[in-house]
Amino acid sequence: MDILKKPIITEKMTLQGEKLNRYGFIVDKNANKLQIRNAVEEMYDVTVEAVNTIVYGGKAKSRYTKTGIITGKTRSFKKAIITLAEGESIDFYSNI
């Protein structure tokens, strides 16, 4: 799907998945909450209760090289935190 780019598999998100039934995804910047909800429900066959989105701006980075200082910026991205209905879960490791 074009809306869901990749799941976020970190220690913090794994803990939230176990305790609070929340899962994180990197999503398309132009996607709204309804599109994200429909994409998750269609792809994983679950019922979504809530969608929270966060837009991260790119960070300014600089490095020192022989020719001088090179400055740049990391990419900005949008993150969605999905809360599922009681009793449902997503297994990201089943396709491995």
**Domain of 76: which CATH number?**
3.30.70.330
Domain, as residue range, for 9: 4-84
Domain assignment of residue 61, yes or no: yes
Domain assignment of residue 92, yes or no: no
Q: Which two tokens stand for residue 77?
A: 């991205």
Domain assignment of residue 62, yes or no: yes
Number of domains the chain contains = 1
> What pLDDT does residue 96 have?
61
Stretch 79-84: mean pLDDT, rounded? 96
Domain assignment of residue 94, yes or no: no
Cβ count near 38 (within 10 Å):
14
Domain assignment of residue 47, yes or no: yes
Confidence band, pLDDT 50/70/90 cuts, at residue 32: very high
